[in-house]
Amino acid sequence: MERNSQGQFKAIPIGVKTPAILWVEKMISCTFEEYYRKHYLEEGWGQKKFAKSIHTSRGLIFRHDPSGKRLCWVERLGLPVRRDTGLALEEPKRKKKKRICAVCGNPKRVTQKAHIIADAEGGPRSYYNIIPLCYDCHTAFHSNDPVVCRKCLEWAITQIVQKATGVSHIKNIHEVTRVLSCIIFRKVL
């Protein structure tokens, strides 16, 4: 890379390939543009797969810098944009889903991810074994409070039934949960 009279690197003009792009072209034995058109645009490879295939970071190839200080390779070379992926655009940040305690239902309390069957006891890290609990309910659960333990069990059964049926709202989910809990505890309704 060339330096100016103050010893700083000179900016590479748009349309001119960087040394990194030239290194990739040497490795793939064709131009970057040909490889990009064939694999990314025509064959429909994703950004991650494409970047891995040429041993380069996805951000270097596709990430748009809003400050304009650094151009990604797609912008630098003026390559066409695949609209279905939002190529060269900043992805919107997802909103965090607010977790509510599965036992007390208080939305103002901070929840923790509690394991119904503890990791130390070989409990799985599956959706049905992790339950959102506030600090007080979590403490009561580990103290084997029967009311809290029963509500945790009902919550886990509800999660399994909803996942198995693919239905997020079942009309009588509490009745189904109660029946399954009674079967598990071998109690008569």
Predicted local distance difference test score (pLDDT) of residue 83: 66
Q: What is the rounded distance in angstroms from the CA atom of residue 100 to the CA atom of residue 155? A: 12
**Do 9 and 3 form a contact (C-beta atoms < 8 A)?**
yes
For residues 79-86, average pLDDT? 68
Q: For the chain, what is the mean pLDDT?
A: 78
For the stretch 120-139, pLDDT in tens is 888 787 777 788 999 999 99
Cα-Cα end-to-end distance for the chain: 79
For the stretch 12-37, pLDDT in tens is 777 888 888 999 999 999 999 999 99
Q: Which residues contact 163 (CB under 8 A, 6 or more apart)?
A: 127, 128
User: In terms of pTM, does the model score above 0.95?
Assistant: no
Domain boundaries, the chain: 19-85, 111-185
